[in-house]
Structure 1
Amino acid sequence: MKPMRMHHVGIILPTLEAAYKWLETFDLEVDYKGFVEAYQADLIFTKYTENESPVELIIPREGSVLKNFNNGKGGIAHIAFECEDVEAIRQDFESRGIEMLEGSAVPGTSDIIVNFVRPKYTQGILVEYVQTVAPIQRD
């Protein structure tokens, strides 16, 4: 099963202040915000336009497994592809001996479920698959 399109690029930043400064630097607009329980991280998605995919800014909370990413400095964390069925993607990869990060998809923000291909199978790049399961809940 091939991905439908690039969904977003995920960037970890150490604080909300750093995230808003990053947005300001590139004059990007916030589309919506969310929280991912599985990774204890706040998220800010930029607006999706006809010409670009959104950027997902990830701000780990204390105790998050992402807090020490790149020695706490943050950076590009992953690329994400949209798909119709994230579980079918997982099953396909696993049938070929490729492991996913999670045993089954986990909730992302209120509108998506996600799973990641382990970087050891993708030349060191963390690749996320995203399935939309509900409308986006914007502030």
Structure 2
Amino acid sequence: MSSPDLPDDVRHLFTAIDHVGIAVPDLDEAMAFYRDAYGMQVLHEEVNEEQGVREAMVGVGDSGSCIQLLAPLTPESTIAKFLDRNGQGIQQLAFRVDDVEHVADVLRERGLRLLYDAPKRGTSDSRVNFIHPKDAGGVLVELVEPAAATH
């Protein structure tokens, strides 16, 4: 039996693509666009003060996949800085994991840097951490351990 710590056994680290995060300057406008142009439904909306965002999860068909729309709460937030540098667009790719601390430990052992020493609160009380974009091919990768009641 293969150990999840072996480099060729990543299937046990990531269980699914959880969502793709898109930075937007105006959340209400973005939600209306995804609803009216694409026929998608807003499944969840919240303010995450710690992350400095107002966000919405928009469902993609019946697949269980989501688009996360992220709007800044303040001009100093990470999303505001992203928008200033890059404009509106894809900000991150999020993989679902069963145990964010275990996955972070395995990735650190493999030489990747994570943004936080310990997981932080994410959408719907999930636990999250991020792989530094310089260690992930220029992509900000989020690790999402859903709250027990959400999946």
Report the 3-state secondary structure (helix = DSSP H, G, I; strand = E; otherwise coil) of the residue aligned with 1:110.
helix
Match of 1:69 in 2: 82
Larger relative contact order (CA 8 Å, sep ≥ 6)? 1
Q: 1:18 aligns with which of 9, 29, 33?
A: 29
Report the 3-state secondary structure (helix = DSSP H, G, I; strand = E; otherwise coil) of the residue aligned with 1:68.
helix
**What's the offset of the Cα at 1:15?**
1.2
Alignment of 1:1-139 (within 5 A): 1-23=12-34, 24-47=36-59, 49-51=61-63, 53-62=65-74, 63-71=76-84, 73-136=87-150
The letter of the residue matching 1:115 is N
Flag structure 2 segments of 5+ consecutive residues without an equivalent. 1-11
Flag structure 1 segments of 5+ consecutive residues without an equivalent. none
- Deviation track 1:57-94 (CA, whole Å, cap 9, x = no partner) reads 01111131210214263210111111100011111111
- Deviation track 1:92-127 (CA, whole Å, cap 9, x = no partner) reads 111122111111110012331111111111110111
Seq. identity, %:
29
Give the TM-score normalised by structure 1.
Answer: 0.87
**What's the offset of the Cα at 1:52?**
5.5
Give the TM-score normalised by structure 2.
Answer: 0.81
The letter of the residue matching 1:40 is G
Aligned residues: 136
Report the 3-state secondary structure (helix = DSSP H, G, I; strand = E; otherwise coil) of the residue aligned with 1:84.
coil
Report the 3-state secondary structure (helix = DSSP H, G, I; strand = E; otherwise coil) of the residue aligned with 2:79.
coil
Between structure 1 and structure 2, the one with the greater Rg is: 2
Of 82-91 and 105-114, deviating more is: 105-114
